[in-house]
């Protein structure tokens, strides 16, 4: 079992980590994957292309954002676990969403991408030993541990699924 971080290095990370229940992070991420995909599978292509208010992302863009964010966070986990000494860059979520053109992709493509990224995240976590799990690196000039990033991935999804449930569905 991967231990929950005892100390969150940056209060910004706690925003997501605090949403994650206690338990084995690999099990949490795996169950999340099943629950999220089951819920979203019933959404129509037309519905996924709509926003809940002017100026907000479409549901397709939210799922694309969740997928891209997990890709970036998984890369950060990999880099820090493998002893990367350089500071890792930030991610401008609006720039990523704007450049991706998620609305041109099919709903099925977006869900398949989300599923594949989670599979890759789980595979990566299975390769991280205890010493690397607690290792700190630097992201956006702030220290962060591999474990904090893993719990942050789960919390980021929980955050967006609450928004999806409350605002879209």
The rounded distance, in Å, linking the Cα atoms of 1 and 109 is 32
For the chain, percent helix, then strand, then coil, each to nearest 5? 65, 5, 30
Share above pLDDT 90 across residues of the chain, in percent, rounded to a whole number: 89
The rounded distance, in Å, linking the Cα atoms of 44 and 157 is 21
The rounded distance, in Å, linking the Cα atoms of 56 and 24 is 34
Identify any residues that bridge with 136 across adjacent strands, giving them in sequence order.
Answer: 145
The predicted model gives 25-31 an average pLDDT of: 97
Judged against a pLDDT cut of 80, whether residue 6 lies above it is answered with no
Q: Dump pLDDT digits (tens) for 64-74.
A: 999 999 999 99
**pTM of the full predicted structure?**
0.95
Domains and CATH numbers, the chain: 15-168 (1.20.120.450)
Give residue 140's pLDDT.
87
Give the confidence band of 1 by pLDDT, cuts at 50, 70, 90.
confident
DSSP helix/strand/coil, 11: helix
The predicted model gives 24-42 an average pLDDT of: 97
Tokens of 127: 């390769």
């Amino acid at each position: 079992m991967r231990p929950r971080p005892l100390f969150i290095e940056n209060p910004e990370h706690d925003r997501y980590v605090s949403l994650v229940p206690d338990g084995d992070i690999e099990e949490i991420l795996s169950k999340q994957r099943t629950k999220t995909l089951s819920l979203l599978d019933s959404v129509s292509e037309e519905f996924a292309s709509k926003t809940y208010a002017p100026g907000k992302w479409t549901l397709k863009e939210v799922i694309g954002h969740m997928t891209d964010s997990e890709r970036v966070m998984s890369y950060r986990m990999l880099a820090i676990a493998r002893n990367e000494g350089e500071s890792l860059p930030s991610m401008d979520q609006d720039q990523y969403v704007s450049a991706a053109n998620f609305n041109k992709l099919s709903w099925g493509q977006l869900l398949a991408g989300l599923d594949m990224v989670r599979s890759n995240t789980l595979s990566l976590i299975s390769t991280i030993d205890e010493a690397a799990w607690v290792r700190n690196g630097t992201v956006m000039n702030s220290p962060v541990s591999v474990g904090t990033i893993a719990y942050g991935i789960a919390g980021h999804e929980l955050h967006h699924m609450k928004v999806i449930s409350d605002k879209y569905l």
